[in-house]
Amino acid sequence: MDTTWVLVDGENIDATLGGSILGRRPQPDERPRWDRILTFLQDRWNQPTRGLFFLNASTNLPMSFVQALLALGYQPIPLSGETDEKVVDIAIQRTLTALAERDGDVVLVSHDRDFVTEVAALTGTRRVGILGFEEFRSSEYSHLPGLEFFDLEYDAGAFDAALPRVRVIPIDEFDPAQFLR
């Protein structure tokens, strides 16, 4: 049975959540429930998942978060480098390139356009997905054939409460009761 490799760009998701959706630093209870992502993808593609969570540890290593990731089934990948190096992006790019030589499907949890070339190289030979907030995903991914898109909140159900997002609602999903409270 194949594996789904789940590569998490935690910095990108956290920055989008805080800067673009909440407008402030997320509180602990407003952050994604990372275990739900692995479960969602395992159920969706009917195969085991392996989560790799990339962290910039150039200034500090948040040990309590690392321990939580381990308990949730992720492999934390703490990285360091010079202040001008995007260590998480570099590591994810290298990992996507290395996965081209391995079996398994791939889901990137990020909105960042910096991975388009590496993701494009994986499409066509396996299932490849992008998971994040749909409205913040780089439009460059929409041109890649066969790429599946998943929303962190609406598809994966990674949050305990609804986020203050404004999204385009397909008419088949429109429920006026959501707006009549």
SS (H, E, C) 61-102: CCHHHHHHHHHHCEEEEEECCCCCCCHHHHHHHHHHHHHCCC
Q: Does residue 113 contact residue 140 with C-beta atoms inside 8 Å?
A: yes
Rounded average pLDDT per 10-residue block, the chain, 181 residues: 92 92 89 96 97 93 92 96 93 97 96 95 95 93 94 94 81 87 75
pLDDT on residue 1: 62
Beta strands in the chain (DSSP E): 4-9, 49-56, 74-79, 105-109, 128-132, 147-151
Closest CA to 47 of 7, 1, 6: 1
Q: Is the domain defined by 4-179 classed in CATH 3.90.1150.10?
A: no
Whole-prediction pTM value? 0.91
Q: Does residue 123 contact residue 102 with C-beta atoms inside 8 Å?
A: no
pLDDT on residue 153: 94
